[in-house]
Amino acid sequence: MQDLLKVAIPKGRIVKHIHRLFQEAGMPLPEDLDDSRKFIIPAHEMGMEFIVAKPADVPTYVEYGVADIGIAGKDVMMEENRNVYELLDLGIARCRFSVIGLPDWKPVLNPRVASKFPNVASQYFREKGQQVEVIKLNGNVELAPLIGLADRIVDLVETGNTIRENGLVELEKIADITSRLVANRVSYRMKNGAVQQLCDRLQSAINAAA
Ligand code: PRP
Ligand code: MG
């Protein structure tokens, strides 16, 4: 049997973008990738096997080589800081990391900043020379300033609906975010033919869509 390319795919709202991109690249993905409880989906006719991952775990699977390739948001790459190759900017799931707060927010000494991305938040304020206390949350982070848990938050903004509906404002943009194709360092060399072919096809689809 040929050596399959193991590809870690994040679960969740990004899946529809990945389906479209692979379709446009002439590699339609298995239908059951998003609506099944099965986490290993073979696609031997494509020479691939898909591993369905929580988005934040994709760089971990790729660093440890249990997946050769993965699709990970730049947000997750910044937070996890894993030793992987970033091969392509897929240009999908476009959003931004921002500092967000209440409109009447006032600077305080040693403010509390809530985030699902504590490393990103800590690094951002450290580089600005501002001392903050970072509080790690696991979701619905926009609640934190409303209930008095934090002075500000660091979170993703896509349409802006969530901050608007919660009466919050974007104070500073930290970084633009898109999804990336990433590779394990050893797989990149050992399976270079297959990796390069996947990259070329995706790149053509990205160029055609631009
Ligand atoms: C993400 C993000 C923001 C929202 C941004 O949350 O953390 O809250 O989406 O999107 P918008 O600007 O289009 O409203 P998500 O719904 O993924 O859930 P979570 O934060 O609870 O994990
Ligand atoms: Mg959220």
8-46 pLDDT, tens digit per residue, is 999 988 999 999 999 999 999 998 887 778 899 999 999
Query: Does 68 contact ligand 1 (Cβ within 6 A)?
Result: no
Q: What is the pLDDT of residues 116-154, one digit of tens each?
A: 999 999 999 999 999 999 999 999 999 999 999 999 999
Secondary structure (3-state) at 99: strand
pTM of the model: 0.95
Secondary structure (3-state) at 68: coil
Across the chain, the runs of DSSP E, i.e. the strands, are 5-10, 40-43, 48-53, 69-73, 85-89, 95-101, 112-115, 133-136, 152-157, 169-177, 179-183
Residue nearest to atom 3 of ligand 1 (CA): 156
* CA gap 122, 136 in Å, rounded: 11
| Residues in the chain, overall count | 210
Query: Does 89 contact ligand 1 (Cβ within 6 A)?
Result: no
User: Which residue in 53, 60, 64 sits closest to 79, CA to CA?
Assistant: 60
* CA gap 18, 24 in Å, rounded: 10
